[in-house]
Amino acid sequence: MDTSIEERLKALEAAIAELKQQNAHPEPNWIEQITGSFKDDPIFDEVLAYGREFRYADRPHL
């Protein structure tokens, strides 16, 4: 290795500082952004019913 320990440590510290900066302003969680956006929407309730019907279609009827 041609780089000294001091140079490698300085690069590592710079990388850590950059990661901390990125983490200080996290991206908004997309799930939290859409949660509740379909509340009381009859079409969404219909979509859920179709999905439920599809999931249970192959199950044996007891």
What is the structure's pLDDT at 2?
75
Closest CA relative to residue 6, chosen from 14, 30, 41: 14
Contact 22, 16 (CB under 8 A): no
Residues of the chain with pLDDT under 70: 1
Interatomic CA distance for residues 11 and 46, integer angstroms: 55
| pTM over the 0.85 mark | no
**How far is it, in rounded angstroms, from Cα 24 to Cα 43?**
39
Per cent of the chain over pLDDT 90 is: 55
Give alpha helix (H) positions in the chain.
Answer: 5-24, 30-34, 42-56
Q: For the CA atoms of the chain, what is the radius of gyration?
A: 25
Single-letter amino acid code for the residue at 53: E
